[in-house]
Amino acid sequence: MKSWGNRPGEISHLLNPAFCGEIIRRTLIAYQQKSETNLEFPLIYLVLPITLHRETRERIELSSRNKMHVWLQANQDIRIGFSERAKQLVPITNEAIQFLLNQRALEIGVEGDLRVTPYRRKKIEGYSSGEIQDIMKKAEKVGKWFSSAGTTSTIFTMWGVRP
């Protein structure tokens, strides 16, 4: 991973650890609320490639009650290039996880599961509308999908990737 000074401006602004960490945190909260368990660590690496990819995100309908596997059947072309996107976002996901751990907003359990901890988050303007809000809402939908989609290996198989 390049140092912050050597990254293109768009990358350092759009994929900063605080923003990506908030996406991950929202996914984890929705998962925990729906399943009453904690997310298994490997699944965290699917969150950013799903929610940050515009075409994928735009096809996720918040009002739909479809399960993830049904949605993927109807949108099979979404999986084209997904494994490469996921691979490219591993370092960004790692930075976001480190940020959340440093802020004490995330804990890794003994079983390797992830849980959100209560922490004081400053209110930031701009999260209430537009593309950022859409990303956050879709991240919550992904958390709900993951909670009812089966095992980690099943979810990875649905997306056509391996942990």
Helix residue ranges, H only, 42-89:
44-51, 54-59, 68-74, 82-88
Looking at the predicted structure, is the pLDDT value of residue 3 above 60?
A: yes
Looking at the predicted structure, is the pLDDT value of residue 116 above 60?
A: yes
Please check whether residue 27 lies inside any domain of the structure. Answer: yes
In this predicted structure, what is the pLDDT of residue 33? Answer: 92
Please check whether residue 116 lies inside any domain of the structure. Answer: yes
pLDDT band at 64 (very low <50, low <70, confident <90, very high): confident
Query: In this structure, are residues 118 and 100 in contact, taking their beta carbons and an 8 Å threshold?
Result: no
State the average pLDDT for the chain: 88
Please check whether residue 99 lies inside any domain of the structure. Answer: yes
Rounded to an integer, what is the distance from CA 71 to the centroid of its chain? 17
The pTM (predicted TM-score) of the whole model is 0.88
Backbone angles phi, psi at 152, to 5 degrees: -60, -45
Please check whether residue 1 lies inside any domain of the structure. Answer: no
Residue with the larger pLDDT of the pair 74 and 113: 74
| Domain housing 39 | 15-159
Please check whether residue 135 lies inside any domain of the structure. Answer: yes
Summarize pLDDT for 8-45 with one digit per residue, the tens.
666 666 788 989 999 999 999 999 999 988 899 999 99
Whose CA is closest to 93, among 138, 152, 139? Answer: 139
Q: How many domains does the chain have?
A: 1
Please check whether residue 152 lies inside any domain of the structure. Answer: yes
